[in-house]
């Protein structure tokens, strides 16, 4: 059994084996894609240390990242682009990334737990779980895959668009980032629909 357990209200689903967890990373930043991951864990294999990715250090996430991919029954990582974020809004783009991740799983989930308070519109049996990344192991695993992947993506963007500090702040509206935005102006990977960026356009 995984150390993270299902809340009592969800015990009716405990007999199901193919349970996917899905989470996203990157709703708050001013730049870059929003990334989602879906994970179906192997109930016979325990991965120690799973929890909300935000509660882990970068080193801990980096250590867990390959373990999750190696031991999961199935995993998938997907994203929604900056253009889709600006076109749809960040919530709908996040849900779209989640849909893409779950659809890309190599086996179909019998149930999908979604971190947050709403599920995408899809045909899967699913349930939204507020703070699910701290409650359900498969969501915690998905949060780690999404976070590590997005951090890597922003480090690559830092190479293409130097000066903004993407490798340091990962696109979040830090003082460093906001000052760079004022000096350099928005880059092609900035979200034009977000206030601090829109004000400079």
Q: How far apart are the first and last CA of the chain?
A: 52
pLDDT at 11 over 90: no
pLDDT of 2 higher than 90 = no
Whether the per-residue pLDDT at 9 is higher than 50: the answer is: no
User: Could you tell me the pTM of the whole model?
Assistant: 0.91
Query: Which 3-state string (H, E, C) describes 83-122?
Result: HHHHHHCHHHHHHHHHHHHHHCCCCCCCEEEEECCCCCCC
CATH superfamily of 8-196: Ribonuclease H-like superfamily/Ribonuclease H (3.30.420.10)
Q: Output the average pLDDT for the chain.
A: 92
pLDDT tens, position by position, 139-160 = 999 999 999 999 999 999 999 9
What does the pLDDT look like over 169-186, one tens digit per residue? 999 999 999 999 999 999
What tens digit of pLDDT does each residue of 76-97 get? 999 999 999 999 999 999 999 9
In total, the chain counts a number of residues equal to 201
Q: Please name the residue that has the structure tokens 């990977």.
A: 189
Identify which has the larger pLDDT, 43 or 79.
Answer: 79
**CA-to-CA distance for 11 and 127, rounded, in angstroms?**
13
What mean pLDDT is predicted for residues 41-61? 92
Side-chain half-sphere CA neighbours of 34 within 13 A:
26
Higher pLDDT, 132 or 4: 132
Specify which of 1-5, 13-17, 90-94 reaches the highest per-range mean pLDDT.
90-94
pLDDT over 90 at 107, yes or no: yes
What does the pLDDT read at residue 119? Answer: 97
Percent of the chain beyond pLDDT 70? 92
Q: Report whether pLDDT(1) > 60.
A: no
Residue 13 — very low, low, confident or very high, per pLDDT cuts 50/70/90?
low
Q: Quick one: average pLDDT of 127-144?
A: 95
């Amino acid at each position: 059994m995984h150390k993270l357990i299902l809340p009592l209200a969800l015990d009716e689903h405990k007999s199901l084996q193919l349970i996917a967890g899905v989470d996203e990373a990157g709703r708050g930043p001013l730049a870059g894609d929003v990334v989602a991951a879906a994970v179906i864990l192997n109930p016979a294999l325990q991965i120690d240390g799973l929890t909300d990715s935000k509660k882990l250090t970068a080193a801990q996430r980096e250590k867990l990242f390959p373990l999750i991919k190696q031991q999961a029954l199935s995993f998938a990582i997907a994203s929604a682009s900056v253009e889709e974020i600006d076109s749809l809004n960040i919530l709908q783009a996040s849900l779209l990334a989640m849909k893409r991740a779950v659809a890309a799983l190599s086996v179909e989930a019998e149930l999908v737990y979604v971190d947050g308070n709403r599920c995408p519109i899809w045909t899967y049996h699913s349930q939204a779980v507020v703070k699910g990344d701290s409650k359900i192991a498969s969501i915690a695993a998905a949060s780690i895959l999404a976070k590590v992947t997005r951090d890597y993506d922003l480090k690559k963007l830092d190479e293409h668009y130097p000066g903004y500090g993407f490798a340091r702040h990962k696109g979040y509206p830090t003082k460093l980032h906001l000052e760079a935005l004022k000096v350099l102006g928005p880059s092609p990977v900035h979200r034009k629909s977000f206030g601090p960026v829109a004000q400079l356009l």
